[in-house]
């Protein structure tokens, strides 16, 4: 009395491509996401790693904070950067964003 009787329904016809067609938009979103976001980011990271590995003593660099100076020493993960005459700072290699052409910093 309180529970209504369930009536049998017809079985739905199954489409063999139905499951794939439902997943297709999700797959396309991941493909677009890869080409628009992930791939360019990986490329930039690879270029930055090559830039950091190529830094040598005497190079003129700019850090992420905007400090410009000449590299006077290199260790495994740190650089010693001369930012003024007699003023040296020690910073991580990852902080370097740009290697300037030689002779850009003439004041040092």
62 inside domain = yes
Rounded distance between C-alpha atoms, residue 98 and residue 75, angstroms:
19
31 inside domain = yes
Q: pTM of the predicted model, to two decimals?
A: 0.70
Residue that is written with structure tokens 């830094």 in the block: 55
Q: How many domains does the chain divide into? A: 1
Q: What is the CATH number of the domain that holds 62?
A: 2.30.30
Dihedral over Cα of 58, 65, 88, 91: its sign: negative
Q: In which domain, by residue range, is 95 found? A: 20-100
2 inside domain = no
pLDDT digits (tens, 9 = 90+) for 4-38: 666 656 655 666 676 778 888 999 999 999 999 99
pLDDT digits (tens, 9 = 90+) for 70-84: 999 999 999 999 999
């Amino acid at each position: 009395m309180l529970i209504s009787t369930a009536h049998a329904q017809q079985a739905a016809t199954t489409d063999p491509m139905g499951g794939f067609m439902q997943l297709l938009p999700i797959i396309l979103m991941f493909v677009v996401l890869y080409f628009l976001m992930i791939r360019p980011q990986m490329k930039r990271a690879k270029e930055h790693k090559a830039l950091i590995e190529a830094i040598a003593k005497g190079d003129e660099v700019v850090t992420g904070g905007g400090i410009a100076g000449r590299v006077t020493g290199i260790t495994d993960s740190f650089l010693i950067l001369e930012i003024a005459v007699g003023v040296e700072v020690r910073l991580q290699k990852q902080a370097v964003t740009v290697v300037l052409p030689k002779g850009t910093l003439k004041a040092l």
